[in-house]
Amino acid sequence: MAGAAEARESEVVRLNWGCGSHVATGWINSDVKQAPGIDLVADIRDGLPLETASVDYAVSVHALPELSYPALVPALAELRRVLKPGGVLRLVLPDFDRALAAYREGDAAYFKVDPGQASGLSSRFILHVLWFGYSKSLFTAEFAAELLAEAGFEQPRVCAHGRTESAFGRIVELDNREEESFRIEARVPQPAHGRLFLPYNRLVGSELEIVDVAQDPGERIKGHFRAQKGEGDQLEIFGWAIGNDSPATEVEVKTEGSVAGRTSVALDRPDVAERFPDVAEAATSGFRLELAARGRGESQLEVWAVLKDESREPLGRIVVQTGRRGLLQALRRS
């Protein structure tokens, strides 16, 4: 089973933006300058050569300060573009509030400046916050949260070093410069109530028929789901999921290898809590996702649970048929 777990882990796409020399295995290492280990050389102000909604989460450590104020929101919006719905951006930024407090308290040792380059307290403070001219923008947690919101992110949260508020455990592995930094995460919004209007296939059509629903949970997951036709050509998928050794945080629906929809595992399920009284997350193990049928023909939808350790476990599959079959049948009967 180790090989299967490794295969699922390899499906997670991680972006290390503005990495400089701090490249990391298993990440897309991106920087404006070419250097050993850089996978993607690009200036974010010109756009990143990545597909829209192709990255699960992104991390940036002390790169955003190198952009001037007018470029900050556009850069964050570009990171939002490449992240999937529900994807998370984690920023590690120099903490101006902390630097200012150290200056006011006369704590010269706080500033990471060689005394030979600047001996006076205010000189050390200025060189530290400007980092010898590399930093064009200064940050506080409040300022960063406002920029993230303006760029279209939601739920900005300050996190402790090495800790995350997200479902992505490995997002913290790039954390460094703990003493002088704060960490803030924000999420790309999910469509309302888990709704995502994406095609099952690319032909135009209508009408939806659920052909088959098969439960096939993996070894590391417990769960059950149902599918039913909603209003119009909507497909509603709802159920519950509990990880055996890592909590289930999201449910994904895939078709032809692409994610058609994703929603959080967070809805109240008192019935599941009663069934599994020793599992803390059972009480909020429910999920609900709505998809809109677009296309004609038969499609197989794979339902996956995303665990907190970023692995994925299958829950089952749904086979749907789209197209105006009812009209054709009525014509034949006449």
Residue 203 has pLDDT above 60, yes or no: no
CA dist 331 and 154 (Å) reads 50
Q: What is the pLDDT of residue 323?
A: 63
Mean pLDDT of 249-271: 86
Residues 6+ apart with CB under 8 A from 334: none
63 phi and psi angles, rounded to 5 deg: -100, -35
User: Per-residue pLDDT tens for 160-196?
Assistant: 999 998 888 899 999 998 989 999 999 998 764 444 4
Q: What is the pLDDT of residues 128-147, one digit of tens each?
A: 888 887 899 999 999 999 99
What is the residue whose two structure tokens read 């089973």?
1
In the predicted structure, residue 334 carries a pLDDT above the cut 90:
no
**Domain ranges within the chain, ordered by starting residue:** 2-95+139-187, 192-324
Superfamily of the domain at 192-324: Immunoglobulins (2.60.40.10)
Per-residue pLDDT at 324 exceeds 50: no
Q: Find all residues with CB under 8 Å of 317, minimum gap 6, and list them.
A: 212, 213, 214, 216, 300, 301, 302, 303
> At 104, phi and psi to the nearest 5?
-65, -30
- Compute CA 208 distance to the chain's CA centroid, rounded to the nearest angstrom: 30
The region of weakest confidence among 24-38, 70-84, 224-238 is 224-238
Domain spanning 2-95+139-187: CATH superfamily: Vaccinia Virus protein VP39 (3.40.50.150)
Q: Where are the beta strands (DSSP E) in the chain?
A: 14-17, 28-31, 40-41, 55-61, 83-94, 154-159, 181-187, 195-196, 208-215, 221-229, 234-243, 248-255, 258-264, 286-292, 297-307, 312-322
Query: Is pLDDT of 199 > 70?
Result: no
Q: Give the separation between CA 250 and CA 167, rounded to whole angstroms.
A: 8
| pLDDT number for residue 294 | 58
Task: Please tell me the pTM assigned to this model.
Answer: 0.61
Residue 202, pLDDT > 50, answer no
Question: CA end-to-end span of the chain, whole Å?
Answer: 55
- Residue in the block written with tokens 């509603």: 236
Which of the two residues, 299 and 110, has the higher pLDDT score? 110
